Chain A
Amino acid sequence: MSLLTGLLYVLFAPIAGGLLAGIDRKLTARLQGRIGPPLLQPFYDVGKLLLKENLVVRRSQNLFMEFFLVMTIFTGALMFSGGDFLLVIFALTLAGVFFVLGGFKSSSPYSFVGAHREALQMMSYEPAVILVAVGMYMVTGSFQIKEIVQYPKALIFDLPGIFMALLFILPIKFRKSPFDLSTSHHAHQEIVKGITTEFSGRTLALIEIAHWYEYVLVLFIGYLFFANNFWWGAFLALVVFELVILVDNAAARVRWQWMLGGAWISALVLGGLNVIFLMLRS
């Protein structure tokens, strides 16, 4: 964990994230009895979008999405270079805020609904993510990711409740069913594609690349629970990703009340009990 790993993230996260997106599309197609697109399809999509004309309602709408990408890269670089977990969470939130503002700025009824839903999603996952940082601090005694990954035991044994709370909110961050309310990788004709309604061409490509960075970033939070062994950690993080895709194909989209309530209750009950247990133990 050093500046070098941060740099590696900036360079290679989009490649890894794009491949993950490709695996997702292929696996989803197979689960639906289709052959599906080639593995590299997400790269083709982004390559094509970069060649298209960039239509805008207001010029500043693109600026917000560019900042969304920049902040997401910054968050990931901070995380992979072993920075402060709390700072990572705040930077991640700021990136999300730019995404929401971009949706509002483009002033179409669809992107308004999408932006509202994205804001609701942020409200839903925030408590669980903060509990991850709190739990890891209580076990390892540090908010520095550098020190968290050097903890000799796998954190999952001390934080099973918090890990389950994180599993619950992962579909929100991956934009998967049952919590793909603001923008989905399927259902392109529905309102759930709302937030990106007014974005086309290069800006849409940037949003997609930002999501790839996010994929790797969020998987790394899962990896932290098994960080004492790199290969097991990486393997289990991928297993978690496949699990999210399976749930995506098996579950229907829920109403936002269910998402918000479910995420908060799971975070407060599972994560809260976990924290209380840790407090009693120490």
Chain B
Amino acid sequence: MGFMSKSPWVIHYDGSSCNGCDIEVLAALMPRYDLERFGIVNTGNPKHADILLLTGSINEQNRPVVRNIYDQMPEPKVVVAIGICATSGGIFRECYNVMGGADKAVPVDLYVPGCAVRPEAIIDAAVQAVGILEKKRAAMKVADRKKDHDTTDHH
């Protein structure tokens, strides 16, 4: 277990959620579940964050916003779709303005269905997300080494 998995900082974005899942996300950070036990901090700043928690479905209005937040996060990063709306669009998927789940805007690593999702499921997702973070960090290291190797080859 490296440092990557010991201090995952999250940013939470509410796409077009009914606030049910948002309240559960915040509930997971409150004293009863206390996600800070695992070093999880709700940063509110994409540049400090490792995990992007998305709630609600994606539409034309919020797609660039979600994309922007995702692009501003430094590598390695993990995206978690929280709730059934972020997973697939949920009961809103037939709406004329809804495009679908969070994966319509950004690559999603973990899907956490539920309406509303339970805090236990969010904690489970966070624990799985740190595993993915570790893997992505390892992949980054390999890619860096390969890049260095390639540049030395060219010269």
Choose one: A38, A45, A197; the contact of B45 (CB below 8 Å): A197
**B74 near A200: Cβ-Cβ < 8 Å:** yes
- Of the listed stretches A48-56, A135-143, A231-239, A274-282, name the one at the interface; the rest are far from the partner chain: A48-56
**A55 near B72: Cβ-Cβ < 8 Å:** yes
B-contact bits for A2-36, CB 8 A (1 contact / 0 none): 00000000000000000000000100010011111
| B118-139 interface (Cβ within 8 A of A) | 137
The complex places the Cα of A41 from the Cα of B34 at a distance, in Å, of 15
| B81-127 interface (Cβ within 8 A of A) | none
Q: Give every chain A residue within 8 A of B6 (Cβ-Cβ).
A: 41, 44, 47-48
- Of the listed stretches B16-24, B35-43, B52-60, B146-154, name the one at the interface; the rest are far from the partner chain: B35-43
**A188 near B44: Cβ-Cβ < 8 Å:** yes
Residue of B nearest to A28 (CB): B36
Total residue contacts A-B, CB cutoff 8 A: 78
| A175-218 interface (Cβ within 8 A of B) | 188-190, 193, 196-201, 204
In the complex, 29 of the A-B residue pairs with CB atoms within 8 angstroms, ordered by the A residue number, are A25-B36, A33-B31, A34-B31, A34-B37, A36-B34, A38-B39, A41-B6, A41-B39, A44-B3, A47-B3, A48-B3, A51-B2, A51-B137, A52-B50, A52-B74, A52-B76, A53-B76, A55-B47, A188-B42, A188-B45, A189-B42, A189-B43, A193-B44, A196-B48, A197-B47, A200-B47, A200-B48, A200-B74, A204-B48
CB-CB under 8 A for A188 and B43, given A48-B7, A200-B74: yes
A37 at interface, CB cutoff 8 A? yes
Q: Give every chain A residue within 8 A of B39 (Cβ-Cβ).
A: 37-38, 41, 44-45
Query: Within the complex, what minimum Cβ distance (angstroms) separates B57 from chain A?
Result: 23
Interface residues of B (CB under 8 A from A): 2-4, 6-7, 31, 34, 36-39, 41-45, 47-48, 50, 72, 74-76, 137, 140
Residue of B nearest to A57 (CB): B47
Q: Give every chain A residue within 8 A of B41 (Cβ-Cβ).
A: 188
Query: Within the complex, what minimum Cβ distance (angstroms) separates B44 from chain A?
Result: 3
Interface size on A, residues (CB 8 A): 31
CB-CB under 8 A for A55 and B74, given A36-B34, A37-B37: yes
**B36 near A193: Cβ-Cβ < 8 Å:** no
The complex places the Cα of A32 from the Cα of B37 at a distance, in Å, of 13
Q: Give every chain B residue within 8 A of A38 (Cβ-Cβ).
A: 39
Q: Give every chain B residue within 8 A of A204 (Cβ-Cβ).
A: 48
The complex places the Cα of A37 from the Cα of B74 at a distance, in Å, of 23
**B75 near A52: Cβ-Cβ < 8 Å:** yes
Tell me which of B7, B41, B47, B76 has the highest count of chain A C-beta atoms within 10 A of its own C-beta. Answer: B47
**B3 near A34: Cβ-Cβ < 8 Å:** no
Tell me which of A34, A48, A189, A200 has the highest count of chain B C-beta atoms within 10 A of its own C-beta. Answer: A48
Choose one: B36, B137, B140; the contact of A34 (CB below 8 Å): B36
Residue of A nearest to B47 (CB): A200
Residue of B nearest to A190 (CB): B44
